[in-house]
Amino acid sequence: MVAILGTLFFTAVLGIAIWSIVETVRPRMGRIVFLLQYGPVIGTPLPPVNPRVTVRGRNVPLRMQVPARLRAAA
């Protein structure tokens, strides 16, 4: 009985894994089929990505009005 329950459990886990893979691939299936049929599309190279955040404009000092009891706690 325990062997049957163990087999059912692992079968259910395998079924959930396969279902999640299918649900992940399904929205991308059109692109996958296109790439398999025509290969990668070669065009102009994309501009390099600048991962750093840049601040434009001038720096403005930040002033906060905080009650004295909270200011003392900081």
DSSP letters spanning 10-40: HHHHHHHHHHHHHHHHGGGHHHHHHHHHH-P
The residue with greater pLDDT, 31 or 11, is 11
Instruction: For residues 7-11, give the mean pLDDT.
Output: 97
Task: Give the end-to-end CA distance of the chain in Å, rounded to a whole number.
Answer: 63
The reported pLDDT for the residue numbered 35 is 84
Instruction: For residues 54-58, give the mean pLDDT.
Output: 66
**Is pTM, for the whole model, over 0.85?**
no
Residue 36 and residue 40: Cα distance in Å, rounded?
8
17-42 pLDDT, tens digit per residue, is 999 999 998 888 888 888 888 877 77
